[in-house]
Structure 1
Amino acid sequence: MSARPEDTAPTGPAARGFDLVIRASRILTPAGIVSAEVGIRAGVITRIEPLGSGLDGVSTIELTADETLIPGLVDTHVHVNEPGRTEWEGFASATRAAAAGGVTTIIDMPLNSIPPTTTARALELKRSVAQGQCFVDVGFWGGAVPGNTAELRGLHDAGVFGFKCFLLPSGVDEFPPLEPAEMEADMALTSGLNSVLIVHAEDARTIDRAPAAAGDHYDTFLASRPRAAENLAIADVIERARRTGARAHILHLSSSDALPMIAGARRDGVKLTVETCPHYLTLTAEEIPDGATAFKCCPPIREASNRDLLWQGLTEGVIDCIVSDHSPSTLDLKDPANGDFAVAWGGVSSLQLGLSLVWTEARTRGISLERVLGWMSTTPANLARLTRKGRLSVGSDADMAIFGAEDTFVVDARKLNHKNPITPYDGRTLTGVVRMTFLRGREVDGRTPTGRLLRRGT
């Protein structure tokens, strides 16, 4: 295990000014994994020197040979749900879970809270509720819904990181979908603001024509959310982003069919980024038992062959990042008594498990830890333009985790920090354990919330 910070007396002038020094043979920096010493002052990384340089600090941590110091993860797709549906998840429980999984920054989605974050007033309410509860740093997306175009500039000025919209019913009445023409109008506005529109891209008309989900067989649910729905919606997003010059971001890509058109749009200069999620990279439709509604999410988990192509899209750079889409609910909304996929809430709880899930799968594919952290830390930070997050480099916030890459554990849903103990990963053996997490150079202890509320540009 890692040594705890030692309360040693400073040496030299003010211990060379470092509050904390971390020494390790494996530190993941933008230059790769190096042996180094990291000096932290006032919550910021101020020096990185070769191991043996003798940096002094008020406290010192020496990592063991099997530990890697990694940048804190940045998860730009988290549904916290507070206020209004706090029984689903809240800021304290969500951010405690995030820290336990090495996530040091989250950006909260504008739904499923009540009210949704579609006005500056609603954003201020959400910020007031979150204040003093957060164990990691928290930012906020705004919402784009029918009739609120005039609100977007106010939300932007109040510090949201961009705007989310749906192209089909979201699952909650207070956050309705945009028609494609409305989406284009909002893209034109966000382009002028130098912001981004992030899109749940499934085509409503295609889903309306698909067979309805019914009963406890997963294959019927899968047929109700065909790949064509994603493919058509993504094509529409691309063309409207092309016309407006806007930045657009595709949320939770599950259809590998869309990868060629995404790559083609990028070659044409369309400002398009794409994410996928751990559940699409680690689970397959073939393995989902009857009635196992913990696996239900929208868009759905697809076949093993599709999963392999998503991994290929990541390694080829077509998919930019991996984020959780942590979308929890109370247990009853998952309809455990009947296991009816048509009735159950669609969402996967995995905020605490993301790094271990992805690393477990990536290492079997010969993919390095450096690449995994690029997808889960650096690139999401770039998406949100968080210039001080997502990397261990001089001038960055000292948001870090100590990771035991060879450790294994069995997921027990009852022991997770998520508010409701349900996850499709219950009982699964995973590799990679977060042993300690630091926010601005201070260990996150799960008792004292020190997270800050972030605004765009911070």
Structure 2
Amino acid sequence: MGDGQLRKVLGELAAMDALLVVHTEDAAELAEPRGPGNGALLAARPPRAERRGLERVIAAARLTGGRAHVAPFAAAECAAMLAAARSVGVRVSAQTSPHYLCLPAEAAPDDDPDYRCRPPLRSDANRAALWRALLDDAGDGDTVASVGSGHRPGTGVAAVRWLLPALWTAARRRALGLADLSRWTAERPAALVGLSAKGAIAVGRDADLVAFDPDAEQQVPPGGGPYTGRRLAGRVLATWVSGQETAPGRLANGTAAGPGGGALLPGRS
């Protein structure tokens, strides 16, 4: 999308106070990987691609007053740009994903496609900086506002079953609590997109609930994507969608889930 088209889209969305969710890797800064491995992918998609794309989004949002949300946000060096833009009233925010918070590039076997995603996993130093951006409570405290699953079977990390235990394992090491996870994964995303019935346990809200044992430990079996073989804290015991309990491999309406056994959530009419 060119700059003119980006401004036009954001201008139209601003008139509706609607949100543009944007992947900010600039295609002009990307290259074809020089090999099939994860290292080649990382070299072909450098942080400057995210930085250049974010510069364009911030400029368009500043001119139009539109709301833009970066998803996914992986290059931690761009957090300062987000914070600076927000400090002068630009309506831009971002979300990261559990694999960027939990899995550094140094731990990714070069030939394992389970670790392959776009943007790619970055360094352990970048991972630590992402945590700092997520935990930064200066100002409005939501420059990197939320954590989305980043679940993309076929073209990215596919491990939705293990995302909550993985995120909880990393959060608990930092003396954080379940309230923090709830804020990042439910409260803030719901508020961002205007889903007033979601994001909290309260009278009048949808009864979308999860029973979670934070003290249980489990080793991820084969088929767990990049978390295979890792020992994680926390176990999901049950889930409810709009008050209806789901079962493993079943949807909330009782029908069978798709291939792979994941209990996908049904659409709402």
> Shift of the alpha carbon at 1:287?
1.1
Partner of 1:87: none
Change (3 A) 1:314 1:217: same
2:32 corresponds to 1:197: no
Q: Which amino acid aligns with 1:325?
A: G
1:241 aligns with 2:61: yes
Report the AA paired with residue 102 of structure 2. T
**1:452 CA drift (Å):** 5.5
Match of 1:360 in 2: 169
CA–CA distance in 1 between the matches of 2:39 and 2:110?
A: 9
Paired with 1:453 and 1:287, the residues of 2 have a C-alpha distance of 36
Q: 1:431 pairs with 230, 233, 236, which one?
A: 233
- Code of the aligned partner of 2:68: A
AA at the equivalent of 1:198: V
Q: 1:447 aligns to what SS in structure 2? A: coil
Does the residue aligned with 2:51 lie in a helix, a strand or coil?
Answer: helix
- Distance in 1 of aligned mates of 2:220 and 2:206: 30
- The whole-number CA distance in structure 2 between the counterparts of 1:352 and 1:217 is 25
Match of 1:453 in 2: 267
3-state secondary structure, aligned to 1:403: strand
The alignment yields a C-alpha RMSD, in angstroms, of 1.6
Q: Return the letter of the residue paired with 1:373.
A: S
Question: Which of 153, 157, 161 lines up with 1:328 in the alignment?
Answer: 153
The Cα shift of 1:447 comes to 3.5
Amino acid at match of 2:250: R
CA displacement at 1:197 relative to structure 2? 0.8
1:286 equivalent in structure 2: 106
Please identify which structure carries the higher helix content. 2
**In the aligned structure 2, how far is the partner of 1:351 from the partner of 1:217?**
23
Count of aligned pairs: 252
**After the TM superposition, which residues 399-414 of structure 1 pair with which residues of structure 2 at under 5 Å, given as runs?**
399-414=208-223
**Cα distance in structure 2, aligned partners of 1:301 and 1:292:** 13
Partner in structure 2 of residue 319 of structure 1: 144
Partner of 1:31: none
Once the two structures are TM-superposed, the CA of residue 413 in structure 1 deviates from its matched residue by: 4.3
Distance (whole Å) between structure 2 residues aligned to residue 290 and residue 233 of structure 1: 27
SS in 2 for 1:434: strand
Question: Which residue in 2 is equivalent to 1:298?
Answer: 118
Separation of aligned partners in 1, 2:17 and 2:267: 22
TM-score relative to the length of structure 2:
0.89
Q: TM-score, normalised by structure 1?
A: 0.53
- Provide the secondary structure at the position in 2 that maps to 1:191: helix
Divergent runs of 4+, >6 A: none
Q: 2-side partners of 1:320 and 1:236: how far apart?
A: 20
Q: CA deviation at 1:220?
A: 2.4
CA displacement, residues 12-47 of structure 1 (integer Å, 9 cap, x when unaligned): xxxxxxxxxxxxxxxxxxxxxxxxxxxxxxxxxxxx
- The equivalent of 2:30 in structure 1 is 207
Higher strand proportion: 1
Query: Could you say what secondary structure the match of 2:30 adopts?
Result: helix
Mapping 1:264-275, distance limit 5 Å: 264-275=84-95
CA distance in 2, matches of 1:274, 1:236: 15
% of aligned pairs identical?
A: 34
Higher relative contact order (CA 8 A, sep 6+): 1
State the SS of the aligned residue for 1:239. Answer: helix
- For 1:319 and 1:348, how far apart are their aligned partners in 2? 20
Aligned equivalents of 2:61 and 2:117: distance in 1? 26
**SS, match of residue 201 in structure 1:** coil
Structure 2 regions of 5+ residues with no counterpart? 254-264
C-alpha separation in 2, matches of 1:440 and 1:202: 36
SS in 1 for 2:233: strand
Q: Is the 8 A contact 2:251 2:266 kept in 1?
A: no
Closer/same/farther in 2, CA of residues 448 and 236 from structure 1, 3 Å limit: closer
Name the aligned partner's letter for residue 252 of structure 2: P
**What are the within-5 Å matches in structure 2 for residues 356-395 of structure 1?**
356-395=165-204
SS at match of 2:199: coil
- Structure 1: which amino acid aligns with 2:145? D
* Range 212-221 or range 225-234, more displaced: 212-221
The whole-number CA distance in structure 1 between the counterparts of 2:102 and 2:83 is: 23
